Homo-oligomer: A and B are copies of this chain.
Amino acid sequence: MSPAVTDDSRGPGEETPIAKRILIGEPLTSEELEGQLLPKKMALPIFASDALSSVAYAPQELLMILLIGGTAFLALSPWVAAAVVALLIVVVLSYRQLIKAYPSGGGDYEVARTNLGEKAGVVVAAALLVDYILTVAVSVASGVDNIISALPNLDPWRVELAVGFVVLIILVNLRGVREASTAFAIPTYLFIGSVMLMIGTGLVRWMLGDAPIAESAQFAVQAEDLSQAALILLILRAFSSGCSALTGVEAVSNGVPAFRQPKIRNAQTTLVLMGSIAITMFAGLTVLALVAGVHYSEDPCRLVGFNCEALVQPSLMAQVAAATFGNGSILFFVVQAATAAVLLLAANTAFNGFPLLGSVLARDGYAPKALNTRGDRLVYSNGMIILGLAAVLVLVIFQAKLTTLIQLYIIGVFVSFSLGQLGMVKHWRRELRLLSPKAAKARREAISGLFINALGATFTIVVLVIVTITKFTHGAYLVFIAIPLLSFLMIGVHRYYRDVSHEIAMDDDVHYGSTGDVALVLVGTLQKPTAKAIDYALSGRHDKTLAVHVAVTAEEARDVQEDWKLHNMPVPLVVIESPYRHYAPPIAQFITKYREKHGSAVVTVYMPQYIVGHWWETFLHNRRARRIAQQLMLVHGVQITLVPWLLDSSELIYGRRSRPLLGDDRRDGRLPSYGLVAHTEDES
């Protein structure tokens, strides 16, 4: 029953404290926690990077889908884009309400859970978890895509690059929130700045009649000829693809606790600020791309005249930048770098949101408690590690293909959007019921809230339906497997914790006064560790202390007995034959018989336990002892006492032989003092 995962960052750390300290940094006290909170100007880049970065792929996906119908369809794009913008506004307003009503950072999960019940909450949670994973995957994939657009000869290493970046982000995040944000603020602002500049320049040049022209403008497109129905479907698909611009809006609502006081106001401001920037950039980019006549095709080989074998199709962002600033110009590279950077930060958003949600779930008993264990750096290390690994997995499975990943992404996002909004509707209606007719102001607020969220709910549900219909065959079905699966898991975990805690709760039939007290010291061969165990057993002054040796071969037994006499050991030795070369069963039987004869004594089994210095030493020590302990613990009235023996090798790791402390090394020696706050008696 040995654990397969480490349940916080300390686990692995135990083996390589130094390496870990370098990578992760020094631990922090609780007092430093407030210092970790985010001022707005820091919060924006952290929580907004997701929503903003989606601007880097949303227009591209929108135009790409329309282009399937041929260049003529690009004429529709302004209208589709407008619809997306409208939706974006509604969603931002809705979340403004949500933040105010539920500032604890539970976000959609908490809203759905409180208003629509456990099931809905769990589904939202599952959806959000999936989203976070896909946020990382999508953002990194898109980021790498933009890097490759600038440096095409990196193309062969697409997946490797993506995975590399994820690992990098994990490490950065394990160092803690604040460093992350400072490190990440610059590129976000650089991204906003450079893209805005690009849009400005482009549009100005256009008005001056010198419109930027993208390379791909020259390429004709082999259109599929579509039926009437297919046309509508195509437009809907384009719309839903465009909706990827909305992804990440919820991030703020999940991160409220990380804001400085006044949390709610700051979060709301950040949200609105973010929304407006996102809208401007999304609209601007789409227009500019149309002006520049960018032809971005799902399948590059449909571009007539484009050598799809030899060349990589540059991202829409790259094409626009090249058209506006000139290919290979410094500003071109600045835009690409900023875009790539901000996309990687977007991935980082998930590393703020996922662990937070994970711990909320753990607190509510829907996820393993381990997710609620804060690591050294006051961040939920486990959540981060799990998230990172999951993202890597997804990236590898889907070969970092952006379009496919986005299909999966949008579904989850809109599932949580919709349920969150529905929850808010319910919330406001309850509010209205509770409010006295007199409280006019409050009622007005509630009504406007109800209106906004109802609107949001309708829109998001409509989109969800569209997305589902249009994307289902494009890989979205996977999400429809993942979300229910996760939901059931979480409900199962919840049941489990409930049952266990009920099982072990104190009640009146807890009775004390176990009596009698026998010590058995297990002896393999007579060596110092055994001697120490016997010494400790004797210091316990048990009613009876026996040494027990399980003899697989007669020689073995003889040797032990001789040594026993030779060193005239202070306790009697019992030898038990074991024809089956089993160890625990015969001892267990001995104990059972003993208890039959002498009444139900508590039997303390002493075992020497090696403490080794290097992980690999564990392979060289027979773990028979561990197995025996596990089996004996199933015997009535038995308790196991492990008497540690530090091998010299442990000296190498823990500094001194004099039984030092892992904790010390981890904070290289500066041992904090732990005050005794309460004390029910003077124990001097």
Q: Which residues of B contact A374 (CB under 8 A)?
A: 581
* A503-545 interface (Cβ within 8 A of B): 503-507, 510, 512-517, 526-529, 531, 534-536, 538-542, 544
Query: Among A517, A572, A621, which residue has the most Cβ atoms of chain B within 10 A?
Result: A621
Asked whether A658 is an interface residue with its Cβ less than 8 Å from the other chain, the reply is yes
Q: Is A680 a contact partner of B573 (Cβ separation < 8 A)?
A: yes
Q: With A2-B3, A578-B674 known to touch, is A620 a contact of B496 (CB < 8 Å)?
A: yes
A4 to B580, CA, bound (A): 26
Q: Is A30 a contact partner of B579 (Cβ separation < 8 A)?
A: yes
When all copies of this chain in the complex are counted, the total is 2
Contact residue among B1, B531, B645 (Cβ-Cβ distance under 8 Å from A618) = B1
Contact residue among B615, B644, B677 (Cβ-Cβ distance under 8 Å from A633) = B644
A635 to B493, CA, bound (A): 36
A493 to B646, CA, bound (A): 19
Q: With A1-B618, A7-B622, A579-B29 known to touch, is A660 a contact of B678 (CB < 8 Å)?
A: no
Asked whether A82 is an interface residue with its Cβ less than 8 Å from the other chain, the reply is no
Main secondary structure of the interface of A (DSSP, over half): mixed
Q: Is B517 a contact partner of A540 (Cβ separation < 8 A)?
A: yes
Q: With A510-B528, A639-B644, A676-B575 known to touch, is A369 a contact of B621 (CB < 8 Å)?
A: yes
Q: Which residues of B contact A624 (CB under 8 A)?
A: 7, 373
A506 to B562, CA, bound (A): 13
Interface string of A248-278 (1 = CB under 8 A from B): 0000000000000000000000000000000
Asked whether A466 is an interface residue with its Cβ less than 8 Å from the other chain, the reply is no
Asked whether A475 is an interface residue with its Cβ less than 8 Å from the other chain, the reply is no
Asked whether A103 is an interface residue with its Cβ less than 8 Å from the other chain, the reply is no
Q: Which residues of B contact A368 (CB under 8 A)?
A: 619-620
A503 to B613, CA, bound (A): 14
Shortest CB–CB separation between residue A329 and chain B, in angstroms? 48
Q: Which residues of B contact A564 (CB under 8 A)?
A: 680
Asked whether A683 is an interface residue with its Cβ less than 8 Å from the other chain, the reply is yes
Shortest CB–CB separation between residue A389 and chain B, in angstroms? 15
Q: Which residues of B contact A539 (CB under 8 A)?
A: 513-517, 602
Asked whether A623 is an interface residue with its Cβ less than 8 Å from the other chain, the reply is yes
Query: Among A557, A563, A676, which residue has the most Cβ atoms of chain B within 10 A?
Result: A676
Asked whether A589 is an interface residue with its Cβ less than 8 Å from the other chain, the reply is yes
Contact residue among B11, B575, B647 (Cβ-Cβ distance under 8 Å from A677) = B575
Interface pick from A176-184, A295-303, A604-612: A604-612
Asked whether A44 is an interface residue with its Cβ less than 8 Å from the other chain, the reply is no
A1 to B542, CA, bound (A): 31
Interface CB pairs A-B, < 8 A, 22: A29-B579, A504-B529, A506-B528, A510-B528, A512-B535, A512-B570, A513-B539, A514-B535, A514-B539, A515-B539, A540-B540, A561-B678, A575-B676, A585-B664, A585-B672, A589-B674, A604-B641, A633-B644, A634-B654, A634-B659, A634-B661, A641-B642
Known: A512-B531, A636-B659. 6 other contacts (CB 8 A): A30-B579, A370-B619, A513-B538, A514-B539, A575-B678, A580-B672
